[in-house]
Structure 1
Amino acid sequence: MSGVKIPPKQTKITEQTFIDLGMWLTHPEQHTSEQLSTLLDEDARLPLLDLINSYWLGGAMHNSLKASSIWQQLDSQLTEYLAVLEQFFYERNQAIKQEAIFACQILSDANIPVVMLKGGASIFNGVFNPISNRFMTDIDLLVPENLQQKASDTLISHGYAPDIGEHDIAAVGHHHAPALTREGSKCSVELHRWALKKSVSDVLATAEVWQQATPLALTDNLPVLQMAPSQQVILSIAHSELSHSGFSYQHIDWRQLLNLYALVNHYHQDIDWETVHHHFARCHNDTPYMALNALLVAADKFLKLATPITKRNDKAANKQVNDCINLYVKRQQPSKRFAHLLAIIKGYSHENIKTMYGESGKYPMLSGRLKHLKRHLTMLSKPRYLAHFINLFKN
């Protein structure tokens, strides 16, 4: 026995962890014996659980496994853990539904039309069923731009307050107003004037959203609007890959990947894939179209989600997906101080400064960056912020 080398158990997330996660989330019956062995091993499954928790996918994992034949083979430690996560997400989303009803009723009484965006719509329209498949951080409501301030004032008059820190900035060019919260609420409400930020609005114009919006009933007596199915797909991709820079940062957002999967499986033929293709291909540069291709390749690779416009053999798209995986594997668990520093530096980018401080004045970029620097220096003069900053760079 002394001559037999037992390979060490994998303790880090690898490409195989990505593949396993996609399989267990969407097609668990198609597992291999090796994948099942990993899931049943308390130590070997830790990287998978780490990836699940990083993207708040515990509810979705629970529901996928419980609906399969695998559930009966799992140990109680795992099933009870996933059940706790699922119950937490379910109860949270039930509370979020009530929060959405409360806010939308106030806006309806004030004659302010609302298009419910993203996850908020998905927990009402059946895209996420059970609703614990989704983890939400806020409720996104699109209102007419000329009524955004009225909408904000109306919610504030009913107990909401801006969730702004002492040194936070209400960006003049942001596509939504500062988040609003009220005591006891599970999440914030964001009032959008545009569906996407201006820099990527050529993918989907806000006017197009209003023109094609369809009814969504929150209760029997409270109708609002939701985006057309094809636009829900467009927004899901553009939001994660362009607005949140997932494509340029080479980051795979598993929550948005699962959101795309849920949209496709809910709407099926109601999604016009030629329309989706056109919206990304019509842009003034190639980045949106490349982002679309890469995300669809990732969905095909990990979730076995093939669409009529998926370019499975696209070299650039496959390279992007592989680079995303390699970057994640490379960066996991090391010191995070460089990531924090990089995030701070990116805050001084042309696009971010323009969004936060606007383009007015003789030297808008210089003026904006000086204001941003002054803000950071002021924050560092406060003991609480300084201690937090120092702690970040210790890790």
Structure 2
Amino acid sequence: MIKIKTQVGIIGAGPAGLTLAHWLKKNGISSVIIELRSREYVEGRVRAGLLEQNTVDIINDMGLGERMQKEGITHDGVYLSFDQERIHVPFAELTGGRQITIYGQQEVVKDLTDAWLEDGQQLYFEAGATKITNFDTDNPQIHFTQNGEEGIISCDFVAACDGFHGIGRKTMPKESYQSYDITYPFSWLGILANVAPSTDELIYAYHENGFALHSLRSETVSRLYLQVDNDENMENWPDERIWEELSVRLGTEGWNLKSGPIFDKSITPMRSHMIDNLQYGRLFLAGDAGHIVPPTGGKGLNLAVADIKHLVDGIVDFYKHNSFGQLDNYTKMALRRIWRAQDFSNYMTQLFHKQEAHGSYSYKLQKAKFNYIKMSKAYKTTIAENYVGLPFETYDF
């Protein structure tokens, strides 16, 4: 039997769990992390790659941004295309210098994991949480197994950063929250390719064939997406067809898409999910455990880190002032940003994906919105503010 005593028990070694652990350590608060998957799996899975200004600032403030500063690619804006007409939204100009940074989620995880283990802190991989008990008391426990051996983490607080399928949300009493869900009638076919990006900043494109997005992971790796049906089969999309369709949907006059060897393909359903309560007793949810947004707005990882900001505020307040004041308000504070991100993600999804027949009423509304973005600095500013992430003080009301 593995017996561990700490102040905060953390389930999940993704961006949320690792950020929480480091931030707590910076404030002199101990924690232990358990992670269901292997280290190789966690550090290798391809996820988000867009970091908001807030996220970058937090990583740098913790002293963990050295590699991100060297290898991350800073963007001052984004390109929006509709029917092969492209415009630019200048983030920095419209938001007082705020930007985004392209740096893969798996790279963030590597950096935070390396720093945690090099400092001699406890992180148990391939350790699956089996149940959370006594979370309505001042001595909650996380039960887990690793290599066939049972373990118990006794702690003051449990932070479930273990994703949609994790035990954290399943442990929450069903009557303690309401669930909200949207399943969109399309998916994303995503690829990673060994080819230099064909653009200096991301391109979101509406085309009569469907949505396309040109993103990137580095100066030599491109990340691109196509809207496909939910029942689409990858076998129907050989590499040649993918590049042809991307070229058509992203195309504008005088611009050409570079192609190269594709080394990863996947189809991701587009959906939104959230619950309206992220805490019960001394159990707290953060990240995908409490909410999922479609990737159109690049909010998933950033929302997880924003959750952690509010959770750290509450835990630090408890240990410094023996107060539950901020912890009691954790859900309230987190939900303000979560709903804003849900709205923005839905807006970007509805604007650039083919909803109905080209030329339909729905299409005409999409076109009208795009035309307004072209002419209105205020509308561009709204998009820019939401895309780079509103400052935390915006929600202090």
Q: State the TM-score bracket (shorter-chain normalisation).
A: under 0.3
More strand by share: 2
Which has the bigger relative contact order, CA under 8 A and spacing at least 6?
A: 2
**Length-normalised TM-score, structure 1:** 0.26
**Length-normalised TM-score, structure 2:** 0.26
